[in-house]
């Protein structure tokens, strides 16, 4: 008997999920006067998550057999292969527009520095919540696979720093695509230009980038679509090439420096707050 | 030493490439079905887009498995291959762009999100053990990199008068 790799069931599940999602289609409604648009892609993500043996599998036992541990272990590999046809789509939208992309070169290059802003608010917040050194590991970057490697090398994944990186990594895996599907339209509503948000989409995770870009093209006026893809593609490429070096030689030292700067103050503040709380009690 | 090591490794590289290509073919099947169901694309148009896209993917998968330095993700290789082949100086740029016109970007990315959703199942158990603190922090991290980069782009683009 052939060993069950989970490939077949994953593929079948993917077709069914996508077709159901397309049949439901996008949903638009108003909440307190604000237009809320639930995109087709959001149904796909939600249904995929619900198929987990620990969620719907608990209620419908046959589903547990259909999507079992094998399928779940296989899904990331299939995901990595689906990225190839998707990467082609990004590339063919950027290649013919190379002139426009080069013109936007300075913006594209400098926005890479934005990938280091992960720590700006999140690190002090983490310290305030009492995460300590975990805050450094969890906020120095978006914490995708390369970050796991860097922190694993330097501190070990069992360390406080490693726990933080793993935390953001797992939370990102669970919520990332969903989160960015909503964040892109919010960015437009705040007043960011679609091109600026497109350039921001290359963050170090291809699936999050896809979610952010797809949500952006859906939410922005159709005339922007092609250029959104071109900018997004270039930003994704830049991050893929430079990301690991920026994380290792700039972001991590910066996070440590920032930690040393803000930690004493926040420690004092925490001491004060907790003293106050214990006095009240 | 080098030579004795090389043979089995080459073999496994080739079988890796072949296995990945086989799976990608099935993924194209899904992509075609989604296009037909969603926007009623015609099969002949889709077939053309699929073949052209597939050829580029085969190049990208080969590069990913053979080139170890720089060690780029497969996604980046795919983008690079199609980017270079559709540059204005490429003689086949027009052909590729025209042939690919039946493919919609959003629909090609759809099965990816399904796999991403299914893969979450593996993380749920660990996720339950996470402290709520790091979850909140991770949301701020995700929003910060996105809006941080967008803010820089927005400023520079408007300084240059491009938006």
Q: Do A52 and B85 touch (CB under 8 A)?
A: no
The alpha-carbon gap from A255 to the nearest alpha carbon of chain B, in Å, equals: 13
Dihedral sign, CA of A11, A17, A20, A24? negative
Q: Which two tokens stand for residue A74?
A: 């296989």
Whether B149 sits inside 8 A of A214 (CB atoms) is no
B101 touches chain A (CB under 8 A): no
Q: What is the distance in angstroms between the Cα of B22 and the nearest Cα belonging to chain A?
A: 10
**CB-CB neighbors (< 8 A) of B98 in chain A:** none
Question: Chain B, 57-86: which have a CB under 8 Å from a chain A CB?
Answer: 57, 60-61, 70, 72-86
Name residues whose C-beta falls within 8 Å of residue A53's C-beta, 6 or more positions apart in sequence.
A63, A64, A67, A68, A69, A72, B121
Of B61, B120, B125, the CB nearest to A49: B120
A73 and B34 within 8 Å at the Cβ level: the answer is no
pLDDT tens digits along B76-121: 999 999 999 999 999 999 999 999 999 999 999 999 999 999 999 8
Q: Would you say residue B11 has pLDDT above 80? A: no
pLDDT of B8 reads: 55
Residues 6+ apart with CB under 8 A from A24: A40, A43
Q: How many residues does chain B have?
A: 163
Sign of CA dihedral A263, A269, A271, A274: negative
Chain A environment of B109 (Cβ under 8 Å): 41, 82, 86, 89, 210, 214
Q: Give the model confidence (pLDDT) of B16-44 as tens digits.
A: 999 999 999 999 999 999 999 999 999 99
**B2, pLDDT greater than 50:** no
SS (HEC) of B95-142: HHHHHHHHCCHHHHCHHHHHHHHHHHHHHHHHHHHCCHHHHHHHHHHH
Q: With contacts defined as CB-CB under 8 Å, which chain B residues touch A174?
A: 120, 123-124, 127
CA of A153: how far to CAs of A146, A149, A248, B82, B99, in Å? 11, 6, 11, 34, 45
Determine contact: B18 vs chain A, CB below 8 A. Answer: no
- Picking from B115, B139, B148 by the largest number of A CB atoms within 10 A of its own CB, the best residue to mutate is B115
Predicted confidence at residue A279, as pLDDT, reads: 66
pLDDT at A48: 94
CB-CB neighbors (< 8 A) of B112 in chain A: 79, 82-83, 86, 207, 210
Angstroms from A63 CA to nearest CA on chain B: 13
In sequence order, the 6+-apart residues with CB closer than 8 A to the CB of A11 are A78, B26, B27, B30
- Residue A172, SS3? helix
Tell me if A67 sits within 8 A of A9, measured CB to CB. Answer: yes
A33-37, A207-211, B117-121: which has the minimum mean pLDDT?
A33-37
Tokens of A274: 């907790």
Which ranges of chain B does DSSP label H, i.e. alpha helix? 2-39, 43-66, 74-85, 93-99, 105-108, 110-129, 132-159
Mean per-residue pLDDT, A92-113: 94
The answer to whether B112 faces chain A, any CB pair under 8 Å, is yes
Q: What distance in Å separates residue B158's CA from the closest CA in chain A?
A: 9
Sorted by sequence, the CB contacts under 8 Å of residue A31 that are 6+ apart come out as none
Q: Which of B76, B90, B144 sits opposite A237 (nearest CB)?
A: B76
Q: Which residues of B touch A48 (CB under 8 A)?
A: 113-120
- Top residue of A84, A142, A177 to mutate, by most chain B CBs within 10 Å, is A84
Say if the Cβ atoms of B118 and A125 lie within 8 Å: no
**Is residue A203 a contact partner of residue A141, using CB atoms and an 8 Å limit?**
no
Per-residue model confidence (pLDDT) at position B96? 97
Position A280 scores a pLDDT of 61
Task: State the complex-level ipTM.
Answer: 0.92
A2 confidence band (pLDDT: 50, 70, 90): low
Contact list in B for residue A211 (CB cut-off 8 A) is 113
Residue pairs spanning A and B at CB distance below 8 A? 413
How confident is the model over A107-133, as pLDDT tens digits?
999 999 999 999 999 999 999 999 999
Q: Do A80 and B74 touch (CB under 8 A)?
A: yes
Work out the burial of residue B87: count CB atoms within 10 Å of its CB; fewer than 13 is exposed, 13-18 middle, 19 or more buried. middle
Contact (CB<8Å) A142/B84: no
Distance from the A197 Cα atom to the nearest Cα atom in chain B, whole angstroms: 5
């Amino acid at each position: 008997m052939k060993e069950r790799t989970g490939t077949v069931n994953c593929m079948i599940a993917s077709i069914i999920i996508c077709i159901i999602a397309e049949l439901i289609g996008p949903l638009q409604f108003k909440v307190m006067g604000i237009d809320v648009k639930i995109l087709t892609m959001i149904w796909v993500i939600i249904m995929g998550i619900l198929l987990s043996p620990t969620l719907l599998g608990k209620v419908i036992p046959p589903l547990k057999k259909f999507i079992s541990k094998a399928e779940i272990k296989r899904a990331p590999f299939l995901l990595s292969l689906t990225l190839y046809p998707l990467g082609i789509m990004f590339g063919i939208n950027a290649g013919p527009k190379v002139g426009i992309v080069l013109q936007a070169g300075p913006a594209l290059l400098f926005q890479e520095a934005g990938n280091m802003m992960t720590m700006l608010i999140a690190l002090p917040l983490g310290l305030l919540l009492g995460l300590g050194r975990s805050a450094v590991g969890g906020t120095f970057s978006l914490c995708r696979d390369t970050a796991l490697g860097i922190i694993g090398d330097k501190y070990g994944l069992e360390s406080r720093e490693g726990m933080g990186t793993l935390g953001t990594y797992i939370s990102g895996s669970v919520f990332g695509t969903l989160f960015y599907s909503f964040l892109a339209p919010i960015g437009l509503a705040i007043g960011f230009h679609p091109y600026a948000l497109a350039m921001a989409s290359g963050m170090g995770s291809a699936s999050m980038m896809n979610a952010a870009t797809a949500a952006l093209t859906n939410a922005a006026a159709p005339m922007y679509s092609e250029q959104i893809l071109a900018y997004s593609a270039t930003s994704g490429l830049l991050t893929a090439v430079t990301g690991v070096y920026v994380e290792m030689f700039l972001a991590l030292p910066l996070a440590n420096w920032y930690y040393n700067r803000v930690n004493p103050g926040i420690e004092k503040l925490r001491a004060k707050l907790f003293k106050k709380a214990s006095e009240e009690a | 030493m080098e030579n004795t090591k090389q043979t089995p490794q080459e073999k496994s590289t080739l079988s890796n490439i072949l296995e990945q290509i086989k799976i990608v073919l099935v993924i194209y099947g899904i992509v075609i079905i989604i296009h037909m169901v969603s926007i009623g694309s015609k099969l002949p148009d889709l077939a053309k887009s699929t073949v052209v896209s597939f050829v580029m993917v085969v190049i990208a998968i080969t590069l990913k498995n053979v080139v170890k330095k720089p060690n780029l993700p497969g996604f980046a290789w795919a983008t690079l291959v199609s980017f270079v082949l559709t540059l204005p100086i490429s003689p086949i740029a027009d052909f590729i762009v025209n042939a690919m016109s039946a493919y919609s970007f959003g629909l090609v990315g759809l099965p990816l999100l399904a796999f991403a959703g299914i893969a979450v199942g593996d993380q749920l158990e660990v996720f339950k053990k996470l402290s709520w603190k790091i979850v909140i922090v991770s949301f701020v991290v995700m929003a910060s990199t996105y809006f941080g980069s967008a803010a820089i782009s927005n400023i520079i683009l408007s300084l240059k008068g491009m938006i």
